[in-house]
Structure 1
Amino acid sequence: MENEKKKLIQFKNIQKSFDSDIILKGIDLDIDENEFVTLLGPSGCGKTTLLRILGGFLDADEGEVIMDGKEISHLPPYKRDLNTVFQKYALFPNMNVYDNIAFGLKLKKVSKDVIDQKVMRMLRLIGLEGYENREINQLSGGQQQRVAIARALVNEPTVLLLDEPLGALDLKLRKEMQYELKRIQQEVGITFIFVTHDQEEALTMSDKIVIMKEGEIQQIGSPQDIYNEPVNAYVANFIGESNIIPGRMIHDKLVRFDETNFDCVDVGFKENEPVDVVIRPEDIDIVEPGKGKLNGTVEDILFKGMLYEVNVETVPGTHVTVNMTVTADTENEKSDGHIHISANNFFLDVVDMKDIQEKDLIARADAQAWNDETDEQLSIERVETNLKDELGAYDITFYTQDGLSITKHIRVIDQMVFKNDKKNEAVSAFNFFKTKDEIKESVALDTDLKTWANAQGWKLDNEDEAVELYAEYDFDPENIEEGTYPITFWTKGRELKIHTTDYVKEGSQVGLDFNPEDIHVMEKSRYSA
């Protein structure tokens, strides 16, 4: 029977704020003896703050830090049985390698013979035998990092804290040091607590990974558990590459996404519970069309050395195309001396007529008034229209406070909505009118086109949840002429990323196959990838 691991460190309800910013939101975490634990997360997630609280460099606002059964929150750093290696190694440039490593022992007034034995053992451990008389500035970055680790380890702490110690190294040396750090930890047999934002470092070295986000722990587990069974979309995206698909758990071991039911191995969800489904790129096989669980079109392929990264669109995006009619600049404008007013013809959906207000009509017509002498924006004082809550064509007149007016036309229509059941979304947009100057003067044309067309995308099962739209057009805004131009508003289709050693041709039709155990069902996350 395997011996039960001993809890060495316990964080209990650790909370910390700086001014009004909450950095840690009640952290509870146990760390076992002789573990290599990595705190992993993006900048600002609280991982370094937690490490500094353990090291005694910061005080928590609330909570307890227990080490080997004793509460240590009020102990100064030098009375805690741990040492820290920082990203900036803080070596003494006026001392050689030997004296840097021996520094802590000399402070403790250890005998010279014992110091010599311990320093030489550390030099062997870090692979720098014969370097004891070297000056610090004669060492490479990787060698300096090893000396910093040896200086911390020579004091024989129970715990070694490492705050992104590989951050200053180049990629090749960084990879070498990942394996070297794990070897050192296994040889000295103490607990390492390592802070990084690099997922590869965490997967390579750790016994346990703690994923953090915005001051909270998202998941704790072994590298294998976290990679293969992420609890939510945030973890799945942070550890490795993922295909994340919204789905619904029909019942245990059966999940539905893209209007298809799939066998899986997950249990414990409610029937018909909304979920996120993750399938790793390496778990998908490309097969002949019709012979897999999904079919799709190869959108692009990228050679990455040992494999190809292939993006396959399995569900097309949703799109709607409307016409933009560009008119002469004077057609939509009236003036009287220095006072000007402008407005556009526009379309309205009959279902929007019920609660439409004057301000909505002004906005849809993009009605504006101004004084060209003072550049002062003038208000639209009054709106007159024969608009009715039924299909048809109507007039609308906008007035300035000085009585200058312009009359345009409204067409009320039964607007088409384009639905995409497989992606659970819909889009709509209106034809619209603009002048050449309005197009040329736009500083964010894609955004303006969506506004002018009242282009919208939303989820079919939740109309309050918007879907991002993109605009596609084929004209030069700087040289546009009068005429009619098609504008397409579209959503991205469902694309699955596949890692494969097989080459496929861009644009080809393929099948995609995977096994039930390759489908990982997670709780629905508020995190957006």
Structure 2
Amino acid sequence: MKKLIQFKNIVKSFDDTLVLKGINLDIYENEFVTLLGPSGCGKTTLLRILGGFLDPDEGNVIFDNEEISNLPPYKRELNTVFQKYALFPHMNIYDNVAFGLKIKKMSDDVIRQKVTRMLKLVNLEGYEDRKVDQLSGGQQQRIAIARALVNEPKVLLLDEPLGALDLKLRKEMQLELKKIQQEVGITFIYVTHDQEEALTMSDKIVVMRDGEIQQVGSPTDIYNEPENEYVANFIGESNIIDGIMKDDYLVSFDDDDYECIDFGFKRNQEVDIVIRPEDINIVKRGQGKVNGKVKSMLFKGVHNEIIVETARGNHVEVTMTVYDKKPVFNADAGEYISANSFYVDIQDIDELTDDDIIARADAQAWDEADEDYLSLSKIEYDIQKEAGTYPVTFSTSKGTSITVEIFVVKQKYVMDEKKRIGIAAFDFFKTMDEIEESQALETDLKTWADAVSWDLDTDESVEIPNIDYDFEIEDLVPGKYKVSFSTIGREFKIHTTRSAEVDTNVGLDFAPEDIHVMEKMGF
């Protein structure tokens, strides 16, 4: 196949923003090539440079073995179809399609033959006398394509031409465009951010990000063998896992080894692994590669999307002491006051303030008559920086007071060196009333236990979505209860026509060819 277009080290900036960072790309005759990427990745800029609407800051554009960087658009053997079709509203369909041929001063007979052929190609034969505003969006798009193709360019550039169409029409036009490209037998270069469009129409996909090409390949290659995490996430949905390539055809993740079909990596090299959701089968527990529990199931039309957690996240368990202690009532002052005993980490003693103590003890006072909250005028305590139990007394200005205890301890820290996540929480005290009056119990449990989780490498906070406890509020009595906080473990997304009930224990199975190993991305 003949090489038709070569981009050689194309660099382009707008003001101080580098939009294209040295693009090198070859495009061949009769290919349907899609430039795919999110907004701002540089795909339209690259197309406009090829079309002659922008000049590169550096680099060369070679077209059919000729340097064309300095050629104006009208001298280049290509035409462009934009998202806004730019049809002439004062002309009928025939004149819109014939416009470029008339500029070239072709004979009427030749123009009529070419226009008739193009309208037949786009399935609008017989529409010659219609006005533009009498056509649907899809028909207008076909006229824009016919007007571009009638000039017989070697390349047709399409800048998100289906973006203005509704979903059903867009899907129809994807197939229509591919059919037109095959019939006219020229190169189409198509810009889109839509993954499905790229996979449906293209012979070759160029995945772009931040002005750089991430991968070039066929739709099958791009989908089945993504070169990095960005491509795997952008094209379709993926389960992406940190792993170790122990040897050729052997990869490890989550403390287990798995056969794969990849090779050529260094021994014990850190890699990213992708397993597509449709490549995972749900089987009976113990019959797959891994076991897990169904966390959710969502009906998606042609399939169910099931989330299975296969490895428990980092977790810490604490004790909640529930007592039936009532607030202290001062009849002379007409005031109530309440507070709870609490735990504090020995490492936090130096930074402990009166406000911290009030908050941790949930200390509050209120007026009996109107239930307005009152200020706590005095806090008395003497805490040493050593493990032990220390009294703390809270008082109002009228002498209403309550004494509780501060337990100085070493906080329960759990560090998972493999997952590089830490989690910590305190034992805590709560009254029956406080628990029964909670409007968001799981959130309150995290607050009462001061439960936190963090990344061991960056110190950034990590969400704690799982809170388990061994009581029902309606059956609650004074006593001690276990509360467990945990981060999410390994979650797999599965696309299947099967269904599975939430909290069911299942197995997950996949074949060696379903495991795709990638180089880790550099940033």
Code of the aligned partner of 1:133: D
- Map of 2:275 onto structure 1: 279
Gaps of 5+ in 1: 332-342, 368-382, 399-405, 475-482
- Map of 2:162 onto structure 1: 166
Code of the aligned partner of 2:12: Q
Partner of residue 464 from structure 2, selected from 463, 469, 480: 469
Once residues 78 and 17 of structure 2 are traced to their aligned partners in structure 1, the CA distance between those partners, rounded to angstroms, is 28
Please tell me whether the aligned partners of residues 273 and 518 of structure 2 are also in contact (alpha carbons under 8 angstroms).
yes
Once residues 11 and 452 of structure 1 are traced to their aligned partners in structure 2, the CA distance between those partners, rounded to angstroms, is 61
- Superposition deviation, residue 307 in structure 1: 3.3
Once residues 324 and 523 of structure 1 are traced to their aligned partners in structure 2, the CA distance between those partners, rounded to angstroms, is 50
Once residues 256 and 90 of structure 1 are traced to their aligned partners in structure 2, the CA distance between those partners, rounded to angstroms, is 55
- Superposition deviation, residue 7 in structure 1: 4.2
Once residues 447 and 148 of structure 2 are traced to their aligned partners in structure 1, the CA distance between those partners, rounded to angstroms, is 60
Code of the aligned partner of 1:90: A
- Map of 1:370 onto structure 2: none
Aligned-partner SS, 2:174? helix
- Superposition deviation, residue 22 in structure 1: 3.2
Partner of residue 14 from structure 2, selected from 6, 14, 17: 17
- Map of 2:121 onto structure 1: 125
Partner of residue 265 from structure 1, selected from 243, 257, 261: 261
- Superposition deviation, residue 347 in structure 1: 4.2
- Map of 1:139 onto structure 2: 135
Aligned-partner SS, 1:48? helix
Gaps of 5+ in 2: 329-338, 361-379, 395-401, 470-478
Instruction: Provide closer, same or farther for how the CA distance between residues 259 and 241 of structure 1 changes in structure 2, counting only shifts above 3 A.
Output: same
Instruction: Provide closer, same or farther for how the CA distance between residues 271 and 365 of structure 1 changes in structure 2, counting only shifts above 3 A.
Output: farther
- Map of 1:235 onto structure 2: 231
- Map of 2:3 onto structure 1: 6
Higher-Rg structure is 2
- Superposition deviation, residue 313 in structure 1: 2.0
- Map of 2:72 onto structure 1: 76
Once residues 359 and 29 of structure 1 are traced to their aligned partners in structure 2, the CA distance between those partners, rounded to angstroms, is 61
Code of the aligned partner of 1:16: S
Once residues 304 and 132 of structure 1 are traced to their aligned partners in structure 2, the CA distance between those partners, rounded to angstroms, is 43
* Aligned 1:180-191 pairs, distance under 5 A: 180-191=176-187
Indicate the larger mover: 168-177 or 517-526: 517-526
Once residues 415 and 361 of structure 1 are traced to their aligned partners in structure 2, the CA distance between those partners, rounded to angstroms, is 20
Residues 1:53 and 2:49 aligned together? yes
- Map of 1:523 onto structure 2: 519
* Aligned 1:439-454 pairs, distance under 5 A: 454=450
**Count of aligned residue pairs for this structure pair:** 498
- Map of 1:152 onto structure 2: 148
CA deviations on 1:163-197 (whole Å, 9 max, x unpaired) are 11111111111111111111111121221111111
- Map of 2:94 onto structure 1: 98
Please tell me whether the aligned partners of residues 247 and 265 of structure 2 are also in contact (alpha carbons under 8 angstroms).
yes
Once residues 520 and 417 of structure 1 are traced to their aligned partners in structure 2, the CA distance between those partners, rounded to angstroms, is 36
Code of the aligned partner of 2:195: Q
- Superposition deviation, residue 268 in structure 1: 2.1
Please tell me whether the aligned partners of residues 314 and 496 of structure 1 are also in contact (alpha carbons under 8 angstroms).
yes
Instruction: Provide closer, same or farther for how the CA distance between residues 397 and 81 of structure 1 changes in structure 2, counting only shifts above 3 A.
Output: farther
Indicate the larger mover: 44-53 or 172-181: 44-53
Code of the aligned partner of 1:89: Y
Code of the aligned partner of 1:276: D
Instruction: Provide closer, same or farther for how the CA distance between residues 143 and 445 of structure 1 changes in structure 2, counting only shifts above 3 A.
Output: farther
- Superposition deviation, residue 314 in structure 1: 1.5
Please tell me whether the aligned partners of residues 307 and 501 of structure 1 are also in contact (alpha carbons under 8 angstroms).
yes
Partner of residue 245 from structure 2, selected from 242, 245, 249: 249
Partner of residue 496 from structure 2, selected from 500, 508, 519: 500
Once residues 125 and 164 of structure 1 are traced to their aligned partners in structure 2, the CA distance between those partners, rounded to angstroms, is 21
Once residues 24 and 340 of structure 2 are traced to their aligned partners in structure 1, the CA distance between those partners, rounded to angstroms, is 60
Please tell me whether the aligned partners of residues 467 and 484 of structure 2 are also in contact (alpha carbons under 8 angstroms).
yes
Code of the aligned partner of 1:468: E
Partner of residue 314 from structure 1, selected from 287, 293, 310: 310
- Superposition deviation, residue 55 in structure 1: 1.9
- Superposition deviation, residue 493 in structure 1: 3.0
Once residues 102 and 387 of structure 1 are traced to their aligned partners in structure 2, the CA distance between those partners, rounded to angstroms, is 92
- Map of 1:176 onto structure 2: 172
- Map of 1:108 onto structure 2: 104
Residues 1:512 and 2:508 aligned together? yes
Instruction: Provide closer, same or farther for how the CA distance between residues 466 and 267 of structure 1 changes in structure 2, counting only shifts above 3 A.
Output: farther
Instruction: Provide closer, same or farther for how the CA distance between residues 344 and 471 of structure 1 changes in structure 2, counting only shifts above 3 A.
Output: farther
- Map of 2:194 onto structure 1: 198
- Map of 2:38 onto structure 1: 42
Once residues 194 and 448 of structure 1 are traced to their aligned partners in structure 2, the CA distance between those partners, rounded to angstroms, is 53
Code of the aligned partner of 1:278: V
Aligned-partner SS, 2:267? coil
- Superposition deviation, residue 239 in structure 1: 0.8
> Structure 1-normalised TM-score?
0.78
Once residues 28 and 509 of structure 2 are traced to their aligned partners in structure 1, the CA distance between those partners, rounded to angstroms, is 40
- Superposition deviation, residue 408 in structure 1: 9.4
Code of the aligned partner of 1:155: N
Instruction: Provide closer, same or farther for how the CA distance between residues 449 and 300 of structure 1 changes in structure 2, counting only shifts above 3 A.
Output: closer
Code of the aligned partner of 2:495: H
Please tell me whether the aligned partners of residues 7 and 23 of structure 2 are also in contact (alpha carbons under 8 angstroms).
no
> Structure 2-normalised TM-score?
0.79
Code of the aligned partner of 1:14: V
- Map of 1:226 onto structure 2: 222
Instruction: Provide closer, same or farther for how the CA distance between residues 226 and 499 of structure 1 changes in structure 2, counting only shifts above 3 A.
Output: same
Once residues 452 and 490 of structure 1 are traced to their aligned partners in structure 2, the CA distance between those partners, rounded to angstroms, is 15
Code of the aligned partner of 1:154: V
Once residues 434 and 79 of structure 1 are traced to their aligned partners in structure 2, the CA distance between those partners, rounded to angstroms, is 81
* Aligned 1:427-438 pairs, distance under 5 A: 427-431=423-427
Code of the aligned partner of 1:470: P
Instruction: Provide closer, same or farther for how the CA distance between residues 505 and 347 of structure 1 changes in structure 2, counting only shifts above 3 A.
Output: closer
Please tell me whether the aligned partners of residues 449 and 471 of structure 1 are also in contact (alpha carbons under 8 angstroms).
no
Partner of residue 213 from structure 2, selected from 214, 217, 222: 217
Once residues 421 and 505 of structure 2 are traced to their aligned partners in structure 1, the CA distance between those partners, rounded to angstroms, is 24
Once residues 224 and 52 of structure 1 are traced to their aligned partners in structure 2, the CA distance between those partners, rounded to angstroms, is 28
- Map of 1:295 onto structure 2: 291
Aligned-partner SS, 1:210? strand
